[in-house]
Chains A and B, each alone.
Chain A
Amino acid sequence: MDDQLKPGDHVCLLYDTMDDQLSAVARYASTGFGSHQQVVYLADAERSFDGIAQVLHGRGIAVADALTSGQLKMIPAPEFYLDGGRFDAAAALEAIPRWIADARDAGFAGLRVATDMGWARLPLPGVEELAWFEAQVSGVLADGYAMGLCCYPDFGETPQRVGTAHPATVYGTVYASDLDGGWTPQLRVRITRSPVRLCVAGEIDMSNRDSLPPVMDRLLRRSDPTRPLEVDFSAVTFADVAAMRLLVRAAQAWPRGLILIGCAEPLAETMRMLDDSDGRLVLVGSVPDETSDAAAL
Chain B
Amino acid sequence: MSFPGTSAAFQHIGLLHDTPAGYAQGCASFVQQGLDAGDPVLVAVPAGNAGAIRDELGGDAGSVTFTDMAVAGRNPGRVIVSLLDFAENHPERRVWVVSHSVWPERSSLEYTACVTQDAFLNNAFAGRDATILCPYDRSRLPPGAIADALRTHPILNDGTNTWDSPDYADPIGTARLADLPLPEPPQHVHRFTITRPEDLRWLRRVLVDLATTAQLPLARVRQLTVAVNELASNSLEHGGGRAVVAIWTEPGLFVCQLDDSGTFTNPMAGWTPPPKASNRGRGLLIVHELSDLVRIHQRPDGTSVRIHINLIGSTKEPEDIWH
Contacts and interface: CB of A to CB of B under 8 A. Distances in A.
B226 interface: yes
Given A238-B204, A240-B229, A265-B219, A169 B198 contact: yes
B289 A241 contact: no
Range of interface residues on B (Cβ < 8 Å): 20 to 34
A276 B275 CA distance: 11
Interface stretch (A96-104, A137-145, A200-208): A200-208
A160 B196 contact: yes
Nearest to A265: B219
Interface in A188-225: 203, 205-209
Interface of A: 160, 163-164, 169, 186, 203, 205-209, 238, 240-242, 245, 249, 265-266, 269-270, 273-274, 276
Contacts of A186: 201
Given A207-B201, A270-B223, 19 more contacts: A160-B196, A160-B197, A163-B196, A186-B201, A203-B201, A205-B197, A205-B201, A206-B236, A206-B237, A207-B198, A208-B197, A240-B226, A240-B229, A240-B230, A240-B233, A241-B282, A266-B219, A270-B290, A276-B276
Contact of B289 (A209, A242, A265, A273): A273
Contacts of A266: 219, 222-223, 226
Interface string B176-198: 00000000000000000000111
A130 B66 CA distance: 56
10 contacts: A163-B196, A205-B197, A205-B233, A207-B200, A238-B225, A238-B229, A240-B226, A240-B229, A270-B223, A273-B285
A273 B222 contact: no
B283 A241 contact: yes
Nearest to B195: A156
B109 interface: no
Nearest to B273: A276
Contacts of A249: 279
The B contact surface, by secondary structure, is helix
B286 interface: yes
B203 to A, nearest CB: 10
A269 to B, nearest CB: 8
B220 to A, nearest CB: 9
B233 A206 contact: yes
A163 B197 CA distance: 9
Contacts of A205: 197, 200-201, 229, 233
Interface in B203-256: 204, 219, 222-223, 225-226, 229-230, 233, 236-237
A276 B273 CA distance: 11
Nearest to A252: B277
A209 B222 CA distance: 20
A276 B285 CA distance: 14
A270 B225 CA distance: 12
Contacts of B286: 241, 270, 273-274
User: Which 7 residue pairs across A and B have the least CB separation, nearest first?
Assistant: A207-B197, A266-B222, A206-B197, A206-B233, A241-B283, A245-B279, A205-B200
Contacts of B279: 242, 245, 249
Contact of A206 (B200, B219, B222, B290): B200
Contacts of B236: 206
A90 to B, nearest CB: 27
Question: Which of B226, B236, B276 is packed against the most chain A CB atoms within 10 Å?
Answer: B226
A132 B233 CA distance: 21
Contacts of A265: 219, 222
Contact of A270 (B196, B198, B201, B226): B226
Nearest to A209: B197
A205 B197 CA distance: 8
